[in-house]
């Protein structure tokens, strides 16, 4: 017996690492002090910050990976992961510094791993953070052949005086929504059940309302909001940010509200994209469940003072986001969301 006959191909692992090294090096920023293959990744903050606070997060992309298996498309999964993690540290005012990933599979395919990590590297470059390490695990008998899972870990930094923690939010503040690019990385277990089991659609079914196949619609990338939010952080226009992920607006917006504050959301203020309407129709899903499971077309919510609302909308438009919309207000209450 040898390791390969037990299901672990060391040569395939070495080939994967060789390919990943080339991808990772393209993401390196001046703070990187180590190379892929070190036991630990080294990063130097330098003198960019006077009183830095490190902000970290870890996440995955859920069962969206199942759709990747069905479509045979893996190049966007890595970007989904990075963008999700970038948004998670962004809501506290942090700029991303570096990223690490964990890729686990039953039988390692260097080609598939390279596609996934190429997406990670591309998104790291777009967000200005470095891919400085990770782990690729071949685990026969744990994952089925051809299947994998991936998780990401990010570290960002923000000046202590500029941390966004929602403490300054007060009743009367304005809630501004930025559009999502689709389901992003949440709600896929329900979406797959509705479309592939109840509706019995195939992944290549062309859906007229979507102008695309259902597979393409479900694989739409998770957006990064860093580029359009960064100018707002620089001008200190924001009092809070909420990344709308698992739990929807219902569960995520209260996470940034201080005691004594609640949110009132006007559901008529934006048009819910067709994908969500199809989900609700074919799955007979209640309104309450839809808003608690999916982002419903709003991927990030900005909280600002009324006097700054127009400045915020103008600033994000200048950064390329012209579809920002006022979706409600902060009101007195018990850290909950009310829809009107």
122 and 81 Cβ atoms separated by less than 8 Å: no
Q: What confidence score (pLDDT) does residue 14 get?
A: 85
What is the phi/psi pair of residue 152, to 5°? -130, 150
* Percentage with pLDDT > 70 across the chain: 99
Instruction: Label the pairing between strands 261-265 and 52-60.
Output: unpaired
pTM of the predicted structure, to 2 decimals: 0.95
State how far the Cα of 129 lies from the Cα of 325, in Å rounded to an integer.
29
State how far the Cα of 97 lies from the Cα of 155, in Å rounded to an integer.
6
Task: Catalogue all structural domains in the chain, each as residue range(s) with its CATH number.
Answer: 10-162 (3.30.1330.10), 174-339 (3.90.650.10)
Q: Extract the runs of DSSP E, i.e. beta strands, from the chain.
A: 52-60, 95-105, 130-138, 148-159, 174-179, 206-207, 212-213, 238-243, 261-265, 298-304, 325-332, 337-339
Higher pLDDT, 286 or 17: 286
Q: Extract the runs of DSSP E, i.e. beta strands, from 78-126.
A: 95-105
8 pLDDT tier (thresholds 50, 70, 90): confident
Q: What confidence score (pLDDT) does residue 314 get?
A: 96
Strand order from edge to edge, sheet including 238-243: 238-243, 298-304, 174-179, 325-332, 261-265, 337-339
DSSP string, 156-173: EEEEGGG---STT--TT-
Strand order from edge to edge, sheet including 148-159: 52-60, 148-159, 95-105, 130-138
Q: What confidence score (pLDDT) does residue 229 get?
A: 97
Q: Which of 4-18, 89-103, 168-182 has the lowest mean pLDDT?
A: 4-18
Q: Residue 301: CB partners within 8 Å, gap ≥ 6?
A: 175, 176, 177, 178, 241, 242, 244, 249, 252, 253, 327
pLDDT of 36 > 90? The answer is no
Q: Residue 223: CB partners within 8 Å, gap ≥ 6?
A: 83, 87, 180, 181, 184, 299
pLDDT of 6 > 80? The answer is no
Instruction: Label the pairing between strands 148-159 and 95-105.
Output: antiparallel
176 and 323 Cβ atoms separated by less than 8 Å: no
Q: Extract the runs of DSSP E, i.e. beta strands, from 50-147.
A: 52-60, 95-105, 130-138
pLDDT, tens digit (0-9, with 9 covering 90-100), for 227-264: 999 999 999 999 999 999 999 999 999 999 999 999 99
């Amino acid at each position: 017996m040898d390791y390969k006959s037990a299901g672990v191909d060391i040569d395939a692992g070495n080939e994967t690492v060789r390919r990943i090294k080339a991808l990772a090096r393209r993401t390196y920023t001046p703070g990187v002090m180590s190379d892929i293959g070190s036991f630990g990744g080294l990063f130097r903050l330098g003198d960019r910050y006077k009183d830095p606070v490190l902000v970290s997060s870890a996440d995955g992309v859920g069962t969206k990976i199942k759709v990747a298996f069905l479509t045979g498309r893996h190049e966007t999964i890595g970007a989904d992961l990075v963008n999700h993690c970038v948004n998670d540290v962004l809501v506290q005012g942090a700029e991303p510094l570096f990223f690490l990933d964990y890729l686990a599979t039953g039988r390692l395919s260097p080609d598939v791993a390279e596609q996934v990590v190429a997406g990670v590297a591309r998104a790291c470059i777009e967000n200005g953070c470095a891919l400085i390490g990770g782990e690729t695990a071949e685990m026969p008998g744990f994952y089925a052949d051809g299947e994998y899972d991936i998780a990401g870990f990010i570290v960002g930094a923000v000046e202590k005086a500029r941390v966004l923690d929602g403490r300054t939010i007060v009743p009367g503040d304005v809630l501004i929504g930025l559009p999502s690019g689709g389901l992003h990385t949440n709600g896929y277990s329900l979406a797959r059940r509705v479309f592939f089991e109840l509706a019995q659609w195939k992944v290549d079914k062309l859906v007229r309302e979507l102008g695309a196949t259902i597979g393409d619609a479900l694989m739409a990338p998770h957006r990064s909001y860093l580029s359009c939010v960064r100018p707002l952080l620089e001008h200190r226009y924001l009092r809070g940010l909420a990344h709308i992920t698992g739990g929807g607006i219902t569960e995520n917006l209260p996470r940034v509200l201080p005691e004594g504050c609640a949110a009132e959301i006007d559901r008529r203020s934006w048009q819910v994209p067709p994908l969500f309407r199809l989900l609700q129709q074919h799955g007979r899903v209640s309104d309450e469940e839809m808003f608690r499971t999916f982002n419903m077309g709003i991927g990030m919510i900005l909280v600002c003072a009324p006097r700054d609302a127009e400045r915020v909308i103008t600033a994000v438009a200048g950064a390329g986001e012209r579809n920002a919309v006022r979706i409600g207000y902060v009101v007195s209450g018990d850290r909950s969301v009310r829809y009107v």
